[in-house]
Structures are given as structure tokens and as C-alpha cells.
Structure 1
């Protein structure tokens, strides 16, 4: 039976760690990266890596054809992981910045998932795992574009789970909190592209955000290494009945509980401190 798993966003961080971990567990992994140099680097490390840019429909469909050729038209698993964060207050963000955020974090995931589902039907089973975020559960200031994209992924995933309930394809969400990766560095680049710090009423807050994003390591004491995603991913791929949601890190677990139990205005007071 085909046990091939396609993973997006494998150049660093969660995707990189999970690709190597699944190979060690005996999966036939197809890793993917957006840049040619990252594809070449991972190939040199022994991974089967292909180019896939989630912001480019032609790149996605080309990658799917490569997957079809590799698997004989079947596929067992998809781990949608590739994404980035666009910082900035919503009143400052150009609409095009939100479009770019959604192209990579949402529309690309839809295009890819829609294209591989027929291969899972052909395989007679399948697993789709979506790497969401604590920011798909609650919102934080200056993360509005990313919040919106992850809230969209949560709703999209809940819907397709219902629509695939009569099939052997199973859907799970992984909802990490702070994970050590290059996420901050990528967010900093997006921040500089979209935000003019000097003309905003949030200048002081932005300078603080900039300092946080420029830090080489997270200062959040609850931050976990990317390896923390491996156990839930393996469970979602192998369990007879995988969980619908895997909440990774203490902040995710805490915030999910607060969202369920607290009045919205009380939750707002807590979240307002996290800008």
C-alpha cells in the first residue's frame, strides 16, 4: 500500500524536521520547497525534494504531476505546512499584503489539497494534516493577516472533514503555539515590505515588534523545538482514529480553554497584553 507523504514548506523548521523524521519512520516522503537552492540542499541531504511554491498555481500543479508520476497516481498523506506571517496592524496593511498572505497560507493550500484528493481516493485511504496555529483559535494584535489566514484554514478544514466523512480520507489539524523556527525572520522581511513604521500611529509598538522579530531565538519560555510536531504528525498519519485537533505547546492548550470558557470581553483583556 502506498505510504507516500507530501510535505510543504520543508526548507527549515517544522517541515524540514518532519520530513527527516518521517523518512526514519519508513515513510516515502516527498519534501517540497519554494526555492531551487533549498530543493538542491535537501536533495543533497538524501531527501526526495521537489519545487512547490504555494503562491504560484502553476508551480503547485506542476508539483502534483511530479507526485503522480512518483506514486503511480496514488498518494497516502499530505502535510500542509508551508506558510509565513505578515505582521502589521490591519489599518496599516495594504490589501495586496493580505492577498499575498492568503495566496500562500490559504488559496495555495486549497489548490494543492483539491488536486491531491483524487489520488487519495485512488489509494483507497488518505490523511490530510493541516498545520494551523494557536492564532487560528485566538487573535493577537499586529498579527491580523496571519490570524485571518489561520482562522480560514480552521473553517476550511472543519468543512472538508464533513464533506469527506463518507470516504476513508481523514483530516486533522495541528495547532502549535510558539515553535523555534525561521518564522520570525520571514515575518520580519514581510513586515519591511508592507509597513511604513514612521507614518503609523503604532510606531512605538512596531519598534518593539521589530526587536522581537530580529531576535535570533524566542524569548517565550513555552517555546518548543520543531521536533515537538513530530509525535502528533505521526499519530495523525498512523492512528486508526486520528484526533481532529492536536494542540501543541502550553499556550495553545491554555488559549483553547480560555476561548471556550471566558466571555469575549474578558478574553480580550488577556489577549490585549500580548501585543
Structure 2
């Protein structure tokens, strides 16, 4: 039975991926940041334990548990858990950036580095990173998240080149709007770090706060998390996985416009549709 370690499985993309891969016969190790979510998943028949990207010890312990259960092998890794700190770049304190990079990039890198020697020893493996359309183009009010995803894209591109010929394939999945709790989960981080009432952009924050707190329905072109799982399946099962998988119409459009438009024109398009 092929095995896959998936992070961020409490809901959304991670949970759908865990369910989808299990249905395809994979042995799924579904990790979560909170032990309560792991308990729930264990009740649903998953092998689940805590892995918090901000906690280096939990990364080490979780991977050790996986390897103990498989006898030292792992066929695939799907890095997925991440969060956002909505706000203008000028209002982002240093601590906000430090914390989000620990979770959205440094923790992913730490886990990936620990997995690579396992895959090298067995002669094969798949590493799949859940990036974002915001790893292709930036967008106002999303600077912290954009920075982590741009960093992830660059690090992953280099890793893919360096692992060529090892039997380890590396892929990026780049979703646009997906129906998850992502926006809801960003609220505590916004409230912790952004002093919007003291900001020079205070008037602009009214629109951001309305969008953040008052979700009125699906975003344009929004897809279900299963759209990401579909790409994950190809990335880990295909004999020739792609380097990048676009998910949703906005990602396809952003990728095209990034290639053909000058920066000033791309800025205008994003500003009008952000």
C-alpha cells in the first residue's frame, strides 16, 4: 500500500485530500495542528497525529511516527497547512511576518528536508506543495501571505531542479478561490497583528473588514476542495507529474497575464479585480 503524509487535515483542502487519497487505496497519515482534530480523524478511521509547522518538535515526532508505522518508508508528502494575515504591508509588524513565515514556509521546508533522505534511500518519492494563485501574482492587502507563497515557489523550483534524476519528483499545486475556512481562519491573525484603527489606510480597511467578517457566498469561480485533490492524485500517481498544476480559472488567467503583460498593466488588472 502506498503511503502519503498530508498536513493541515482538520478541514478544507487537507481533509478532502485525506479522504480522496484513502478512497484511492493510499495509506494516509492525516496530521493536524490541534490534537482535538486528530482525535476526530482517528474516530473516522484515519491514522492521525499532531503536526504543527510552528513547532519543530512536533514535526520531528510526527515524521518519526509515520516511519515507525511504515517500517521506514514514505511514498508521498503533501505540504498543505497555511494561513493569512490580511492587511496593508505598511501595517505588518515584524512579528507578524516572522510568525507567518515560520508556519507557511520554514515549517514546510523543515518537514521536506526530513523526508528527502527517506525518499533518497528508497529511490523514489513525490513531494507536492500547495501554493496559490498568490504565488504567481501579488494582490493588495495580502502581502504577508503573498510573500510566503512567492518564497515557497522559488524554493520549490530550485528543489525540483536539484532533485532531478533522483527518482523524487517535486510539484506545485496553485489554487485560486477554493471553498474552505481560509478567510475565517485569518480573522484571529488580523485581530492580533493589524492596528487598523491607527492606520493611515483606516478608511480602506472598511472594505477589507466587510469582506473578512461578512462572507456572503462563494467567490467568483470558486471551486470545491476536491478540485485540488484531483491535481494531487495526478501529481503522486502519474508516471510524468507536472511541475505546476493550476486550479480554478483565476489561476489560469493570472499565469497567462503574468507572462504577457508589462508590470504596470498587470497591476491595473489585479487592482480592478482584487
Q: Do Structure 1 and Structure 2 share a fold, with TM-score over 0.5?
A: yes
Long gaps (5+) in structure 2:
none
SS in structure 2 of the partner of residue 49 of structure 1:
coil
What is the alpha-carbon distance in structure 2 between the residues aligned to residue 212 and residue 38 of structure 1?
27
TM (normalized to structure 1)?
0.97
Match of 1:121 in 2: 120
1:216–1:47 CA distance, 2 compared to 1 (3 A)? farther
The residue number in structure 2 matching 1:151 is: 150
Q: 3-state SS of the aligned residue for 1:127?
A: strand
The CA distance in 2 between the partners of 1:215 and 1:59, in whole Å, is: 34
The equivalent of 2:209 in structure 1 is 210
1:6 offset after TM fit, Å?
0.2
| Correspondence for 1:188 | 187
Q: State whether residues 177 and 223 of structure 1, in contact with CA within 8 Å, keep that contact through their aligned partners in structure 2.
A: yes
Aligned partner of 1:170 in structure 2 is: 169
Preserved contact between residue 34 and residue 51 of structure 1 (Cα < 8 Å): yes
Deviation at 1:212, TM superposition (A): 1.2
Q: Is the 8 A contact 2:5 2:31 kept in 1?
A: yes
Is the alpha carbon distance of 1:88 and 1:226 closer, same or farther for their aligned partners in structure 2, counting shifts above 3 Å?
A: same
Matches of 1:86 and 1:274 in 2, distance apart?
20
Superposition pairs for residues 229-248 of structure 1, below 5 Å? Answer: 229-248=228-247
Counterpart Cα distance in 2 of 1:219 and 1:110: 32
Task: State the Cα distance separating 1:124 from its structure 2 match.
Answer: 2.0
Q: 1:54 to 1:204 in 2, by over 3 A?
A: same
SS at match of 2:31: strand
Measured on the aligned residues, the alpha-carbon RMSD in Å equals 1.1
Deviations along 1:83-106, one digit per CA (max 9) or x if unpaired, are 011111111011010011100000
Runs of 4 or more consecutive aligned structure 1 residues displaced over 6 Å after TM superposition: none
> Does residue 66 in structure 1 map to residue 71 in structure 2?
no
Alignment length (residue pairs): 274
Distance in 2, matches of 1:229 and 1:217, equals 23
Give the match's secondary structure for 1:33: coil
2-structure distance, mates of 1:186, 1:218: 16
Asked if the contact 1:126/1:168 (under 8 Å) is kept, the reply is: yes
TM-score normalised over the length of structure 2: 0.97
Q: Match of 2:265?
A: 266
Shift of 1:166: 2.0
Shift in Å, 1:152: 0.4
Where 2:245 maps in the other structure, the secondary structure is strand
CA distance in 2 between partners of 1:264 and 1:29 (Å): 42
Is the Cα–Cα contact under 8 Å of residues 53 and 59 in structure 2 kept in the other structure? yes
Offset at residue 21 of structure 1 (A):
0.8
Q: Deviations over 1:16-40 (max 9, x none)?
A: 0110110010000000000010010
Counterpart contact for 1:141–1:274, Cα < 8 Å: no
State the alpha-carbon separation in 1 of the partners of residues 227 and 158 from structure 2: 27
Deviations 1:53-101 (A, max 9, x none): 0011111111111111011111100000010111111110110100111
CA offsets per residue over residues 132-153 of structure 1, 9 Å max, x none?
0000000000100100000000
Q: Which residue of 2 aligns with 1:108?
A: 107
